A = this chain, B = another copy of it.
């Protein structure tokens, strides 16, 4: 099939990652979000010879990291309209993956290369008891972090910096410089929500930032120490990586 007969579709996907091994294909398992969506599309398109369309995600979320609005794109040819594709996907996808929207994108749209910003939200449960209905989507740290100290520390992390200290990939060869536009820390009842917006994030970066900010909130580090932490450019200088389950991809920005 000639690529020119195909259209470039944009998908917005919500998923609960609890049962999966991340967005991206993994050897030895079909339990990835990308794999599940591609499987259902292959069934829908009835491609010959086991051919599978490639669904490109804006970000390759790690195992356990949820998404409210993952953006993806896929080139394919189908007689179904956008709502028809969406409904087909939702019928055959498992109950923890939902395609919220399907639309035809321009030919040049690439969900990953065209992304100019991303928003992630990390949710902490900081009440006196424990979360129940949302227990798979929040992290309950030991102790009650002081949100104000965390906000002071966050101010020092915002901006363009070399985030090597907050990078989970020790073998990272490319630049670890990123622009972190904002970290918003809001208390909502028994929850503390940390919303990160930036041009792009290194592996585990949001989780290491969160783990470090929680240590500041618990008095184990001073807000001021963030400056030297950035300067250290050493993963060992930062705090623990917060658990994946509290993290959710909220939005991807495009021009």
Contact = CB atoms under 8 A, between A and B. Distances in A.
Nearest to A15: B132
A134 B134 CA distance: 8
A130 B16 contact: no
Contact of A66 (B97, B129, B133, B134): B133
The quantity of this chain's copies bound in the complex is 2
Interface in A128-170: 128-135, 137
Nearest to A13: B132
B135 A95 contact: yes
A137 B136 CA distance: 14
Contact of A130 (B66, B90, B130, B131): B90
Q: Interface residues of A: mostly helix, strand, loop or mixed? A: loop
A98 B134 contact: no
A66 B96 CA distance: 20
Contacts of A110: none
A128 B137 CA distance: 23
Contact of A133 (B90, B128, B132, B134): B134
A214 interface: no
B129 A100 contact: yes
A15 B132 CA distance: 7
Interface of A: 14-16, 66, 83, 86, 90, 95-100, 128-135, 137
For the complex of A and B, 8 pairs with smallest distance between CB atoms: A98-B132, A14-B132, A98-B130, A98-B129, A95-B135, A16-B132, A90-B130, A90-B129
16 contacts: A14-B132, A14-B133, A16-B132, A83-B128, A86-B129, A90-B129, A95-B130, A95-B132, A96-B132, A98-B129, A98-B130, A98-B131, A99-B129, A100-B129, A133-B134, A133-B137
